[in-house]
Amino acid sequence: MSPVAIRTSNSTNALETGAAKIWQLLIGVNQYQDNQIPYLNYSSQDCQGLADALQQATQGFPLLQVMVHHDFASELPYLEAVRGSLRKIVTLAKPQDTVIFYFSGHGIIDNSECVVLCLQDTHKDNLGTTGLSLQELLKTLESCPAQQQVVWLDACHSGGMTLFGAKGDNENEENPTNQLVNLLRQRAAKSKGFYALLSCDQDQLSWEFPELQHGLFTYYLMQGLLGDAADAQGVIDADGLYKYVYQQTLSYIDKTNQQLRLINQQNRSIGITEAYQEYSLQTPKRIVEGVGQLILGLKSSKGKQHPLRKALVIEGLPPSDACQEIIEILRADGGFDVDYLFQPATSAALRSSIIKLLELEHGAVLLYLRASIEKTPDGETLLALSSTLKMTRSWLKKQLQKIPNTQQIIILDCPNLIQEWVETLHVTSLHHNRGQCVIAASPKENLEQFTNILLSTLKQRRQALGLTAASWITQLQIELGSLNIKPYFWLWGTKGIIEILLNQTLFTDKVNIEDISLNFGANYQKLHDLLKSGKWQEANNETTHILLELAHQNIYLKPEDINNLPYQDIYTIDSLWVKYSGGRFGFSVQKQIWESLKSTQPNDYVLAMVIGKDNVKFGETGIDFANRVGWRLKDNWLDYDYLNFSLDAAIGHLPFFSFIENPWRIKLLGIWEMNSMILTARWWQQCVCFFSRLDND
């Protein structure tokens, strides 16, 4: 299990005062002199990007030594140059110092069954003398006086270290997982200050994404060092960074696959049989022994540069309060710079607004058109933006084609909408590199029906988790289907996730925090005080105690108990958790995670035939949820004592559902075995029942 981090101020002070030094040796190789070793796309960019992120994270530390070797650096990634940098660190480092070693490139197992990191002048036919063996690297680090050492390896199959085989797509390369893990564990066992982090686990791929211009693992290493992995005190440590990278890597692939699944489903419906292959799982793997906090940096006040996002909302129908609320959500949670145009009277006003929107060359643009469709005597359909200004499909298509490198999100909120409008616009997506999403519907009952549905689904997904286009489309399909409103959707984009709302933490006080001790059916003063002081485990225990007391139960809640829990009490508990965790913890945060994962269809159709569709559907979602919030690690459920009771935990990690019986194991003939999918499904159905109590009765 993961070690419990003990936060000490001495380690941070030593770095801030210059009593300790950070040594950084970063290596990235794209091009190899040996043609037998395939080139890589982003290893050098990864190396330089990580160097820049570390520079920002460590700018508060006066003593730094940075040695960077990549294809575009002044010091190229040659074997002797890297060995020279290692010798310098071993010679000059002091016991109180920290060493960070990073490698991105290929790796091969040589004839002696040793793992070799391939540098630019490495030759596959002579690995022993031209490559840097992992044994040599670890032996050198072992002789280094610095007591705190971090090793980051980012490459294909870095967990199994089939670096060459994966990047070079050579299936004949041997998988050296056991050698790699055993060596790192042996090294870690010798020093509690040694921390190894690999880009993926055994038998996995370490993916590169063109839209990120980096390998996925290193991209989130960079984002974490730029501040996203900092704790409440602004400290970035090795364990907190790992947890952040693990969760974000898992989430990115999950969101990407969700988008690909929806595109494949959509393509099948129009007769396209060729499907896009989903990405296999990538879970970063850490190897560490001992207890303590290993400081890597501090959160910078400079902040990160986020991609530009622009939106234009044109309202041709009577003004709608719901439309104005949508605009505010797009600004606050979507990160959009939103312009609003109400019933433009002239084409000049329309052109000016469109031109401003299309000035964006990279990022995302959102165009929301709320107007009616009119048909001319000759059969042409026009979008009526005002009594005097109409828009044709061909004109709008021409404008959208001007931004081929920008993600497009187009929302048509139009009574009497016809499918040809959507089909005309989504043809343009074939010419776009970054993707396009078209969302449309034709409300039947009133002009604001679809507007209100758009608003309600956006509201459900606010706070902390964000919303992808694929998730939004899935939710809208459910909402509109229940009202017998036919939706029109088009999603295109295999190079980047189309985000509607960004992943960020927001919180608005739901209750008067200072006046809750006598509210509703329980006394909340103790829970308030525990959360305010950051005593997360005690607060989790108190939450369980309150809920059991409300239901007059001693151990666990039953389904009927959950249904009878007072809404206001659940609301108050959730508000306290969200408030004092800064939006990281709480039932509402967990509910949003569930809503981003829930599916109407099981993935394992064979198992569904055996135990039932609902059992598999609920069981799979429950497992996905537990993986996302950190209740499971590597296909194993964590015992309560091994949960992470700190702000470094994954979003939604707390409160843990101690008040619902957790059937992780069943006892059969005295032997403990893992629970079945049916038991997991029953547990998760109770969790979902509890989430439903967050809805105001």
Q: What is the DSSP letter of 687?
A: H
CA angle 567, 542, 657 (to 5 degrees): 65
Cβ of 549: how many Cβ atoms within 10 Å?
A: 14
Q: How many CA atoms lie within 13 A of 519 on its CB side?
A: 21
Selected residue with higher pLDDT from 292 and 656: 656
* pLDDT above 80 for 298: yes
DSSP-derived pairing of the beta strands 98-104 and 148-154? parallel
pLDDT tens profile 27-84 = 999 999 999 988 888 999 999 999 999 999 999 999 999 999 999 999 999 999 999 9
When pLDDT is cut at 50, 70 and 90, the band that residue 447 belongs to is confident
pLDDT tens profile 486-501 = 888 989 887 789 999 9
- Helix 525-532 to helix 536-551 angle, to the nearest 10 degrees? 160
Which residues partner with 26 through β-bridges?
Answer: 68, 102
User: What's residue 671's pLDDT?
Assistant: 37
The structural domains of the chain, with segments of one domain joined by +, span 9-269+280-298, 309-500, 507-697
With the CA atoms of 527, 528, 530 and 533 taken in that order, what torsion angle do they form, in degrees rounded to the nearest 10?
170
Could you say which architecture CATH assigns to the domain 309-500? 3-Layer(aba) Sandwich (3.40)
Domain 9-269+280-298, what fold?
A: Rossmann fold (3.40.50)
Selected residue with higher pLDDT from 156 and 541: 541
pLDDT tens profile 647-693 = 778 888 999 998 988 765 444 433 333 346 788 888 888 998 898 88
pLDDT tens profile 320-373 = 999 999 999 999 889 999 999 999 989 999 989 988 898 887 889 999 999 998
- Taking CA atoms, 476 is separated from 255, 481, 486, 488, in Å, by 17, 8, 10, 10
Contacts 24+ apart (CB under 8 A), 586-590: 586/655, 587/655, 587/690, 587/691, 587/694, 588/463, 588/694, 589/463, 589/464, 589/465, 589/651, 589/652, 590/625, 590/629, 590/652, 590/691
d(CA 248, CA 659): 28
Residues 77 and 71 sit within 8 Å (Cβ to Cβ): yes
User: What's residue 328's pLDDT?
Assistant: 93
Residues 217 and 245 sit within 8 Å (Cβ to Cβ): yes
Max CA distance (Å), the chain? 86
d(CA 86, CA 602): 51
pLDDT-above-70 percentage for the chain:
83
pTM over cut 0.85:
no
* pLDDT above 50 for 234: yes
User: What's residue 44's pLDDT?
Assistant: 95
